[in-house]
Amino acid sequence: MRVLLIGAGGVGSAITRIAARRGFFEHMVVADYDPGRAEAAVAALGEAADRFSTARIDASDQLSVEDLLRERRCDVLLNATDPRFVMPLFQAAHRAGATYMDMAMSLSVPHARRPHEECGTKLGDDQFAQAKAWEEDGLLALVGMGVEPGMSDVFARYAADHLFDGIDEIGVRDGANLTVDGYDFAPSFSIWTTIEECLNPPVVWEKDRGWYTTAPFSQPEIFDFPEGIGPVECVNVEHEEVLLIPRWVDARRVTFKYGLGQDFIDKLQTLHDLGLDRTDPVTVATDRGPARVSPRDVVAAVLPDPAALGDRMHGKTCAGTWVKGTKDGRPREVYLYHVVDNQWSMREYGSQAVVWQTAINPVIALELLAEGTWSGSGVLGPEAFDARPFLDLLVAYGSPWAMREQAGNAQDRDAAPAPNA
């Protein structure tokens, strides 16, 4: 397997550090708009860098990406950029005859008249609109293969196949107790993506109603996260799992909620009120004359780079999927989850917890595709595949998942080997 990794930021760099320890691929080309970032990502691998090379690429230039795929003989394109570049990269992979993988899907557009009641263009709609062409050409686009979406979707599939006879609700719940020394406001992930998903209308799925939207930060609830994180208030946020899981997993309801905290919500709301979440350029006077800039890009430029915060960060992050339903005629409720301690990820990989937790999942998926354990054609989400091989590899990579029975306050239990009941 020869892989073209586009994006050498925090997640892209973490992908190289994880992949360098595995033998399933022949070569990985690390490409970025800033060649210095790609070169730094590869240089950090030391003696393990012999299977890596670098390139400069503009992710918005579809033809250049196609040429690079062919020139470097890559059969997989792994997209580690922000969602703005999903469609040109997705289409470039298709035209070049390559497998495509991303961690965030094509962008949504709110309903013009009823944004908090009805869906407009949903996350991933532009990609799923081309699913038939991918299938007819015998090509695979594996979409939403990060941590959330990604691992969370694998958990949903595992629960449906092994833990439940019927599912009432699947709710992805994400929470952390991370702090960053020296900053009052320092998002642990791309602020561009954070603004996009937190300020867009959240989507909910109900079997009798289909997909619909609510207001941002709606339906708050307190969720008790494991491994010392504790109770965190979670709110509805737009996320791909709600658009992916119902396509392959039978459930009456699917939701996604983030544990953001009121201070974080207030700051995001202020950015929205000031128009600083906008992506369309505005004209700004500079000492070199007028310039067209996106307000959201300005916000991203003045905030610290999440990938560089690891040394200042403390605590744990938890990604997981809460499932409620029945097994053998009895009610059951479980939380399948994965926790990463920032101290561990920095010590072992030099990557902060959130970006490392995102990065491990596409690497595992690449290995499963390389081995032929996962295969298919069309535009498919993680839940379209058998979950057990993925979860087994997660344990083999040294970062086991776990499951908690919600009823009866059962103790958390490690899942190596994975639980079957």
Contact predicate 399/338, CB 8 Å = yes
Residue 217 CB coordination number (10 Å): 22
User: What pLDDT does residue 418 have?
Assistant: 38
Please report, to the nearest 10 degrees, the dihedral formed by the alpha carbons of residues 272, 11, 39, 76 taken in order.
Answer: -110
> What's residue 198's pLDDT?
85
Q: What is the pLDDT of residue 419?
A: 36
Pick left, alpha or beta for residue 234 (phi over 0 → left; psi -120 to 50 → alpha; otherwise beta): beta
Please list the pLDDT of the chain residue by residue as tens digits (421 residues).
Answer: 999 999 999 999 999 999 999 999 999 999 999 999 999 999 999 999 999 999 999 999 999 999 999 999 999 999 999 999 999 999 999 999 999 999 999 999 999 999 999 999 999 999 999 999 999 999 999 999 999 999 999 999 999 999 999 999 999 999 999 988 888 777 776 787 888 888 899 999 999 999 999 999 999 999 999 999 999 999 999 999 999 999 999 999 999 999 988 888 888 889 889 998 888 899 988 888 888 988 888 888 888 777 777 788 899 999 999 999 999 999 999 999 999 999 999 999 999 999 999 999 999 999 999 999 999 999 999 999 999 999 999 999 999 999 999 864 333 333 444 333 3
Q: Which of 412, 416, 395, 394 is nearest to 403 (CA)?
A: 412
Spatial distance between the Cα atoms of 56 and 39, rounded to a whole number of angstroms: 10
8-state DSSP, 202: P
- Asked if residue 34 lies in contact with residue 61, where contact means CB atoms within 8 angstroms, the answer is no
Amino acid at the residue 285: A
- The answer to whether the beta carbons of residues 15 and 356 sit under 8 Å apart is no
Question: What's the token pair of residue 70?
Answer: 């062919």
Q: What is the pLDDT of residue 387?
A: 98
Structure tokens at 352: 């902060």
Residue 414: per-residue pLDDT: 38
> Any idea how long the chain is?
421
